[in-house]
Amino acid sequence: MTEKDIVQSILRYLKTVPDCFAWKTHGGMYGTAGIPDIIACVEGRFFAFEVKTATGKATPLQKATLQKILASSGTAEIVRSVDEVRAILTRCGVALRNDQ
């Protein structure tokens, strides 16, 4: 499964989560380097997901950005599947009323 496939699967899942607004960030000359792939606001809480394949590794800049988000009381993690995103939301106490 490619990183793009994983991102699309996670975004499809997040669309089913109540009180969730999520989007895929896009790189390029007008973007900010190191920003995680998916940003989400769920029940008023900030989540950032850096998506990687099973063998993918985060760059030092990506790791530093995740640390800055954590230092600002956001939730930021490297994920490799929808199941990992679901587990993070559950661990953070997000109500997954329609989660199946």
Q: Does the global pTM surpass 0.85?
A: yes
pLDDT tens profile 8-30: 999 999 999 999 999 999 877 77
Please write the tens of the pLDDT for every residue from 65-80.
Answer: 999 999 999 999 999 9
If you average pLDDT over every residue of the chain, what do you get? 93
Closest alpha carbon to 98 in 17, 1, 27, 11? 17
Burial class (CB in 10 A: 0-12, 13-18, 19+), 65: buried
Beta carbons of 85 and 79 less than 8 angstroms apart: yes
Does domain 3-91 fall into CATH 1.10.260.40?
A: no
Domain ranges of the chain: 3-91
Q: Roughly what angle, to the nearest 10 degrees, separates helices 3-14 and 82-91? A: 40
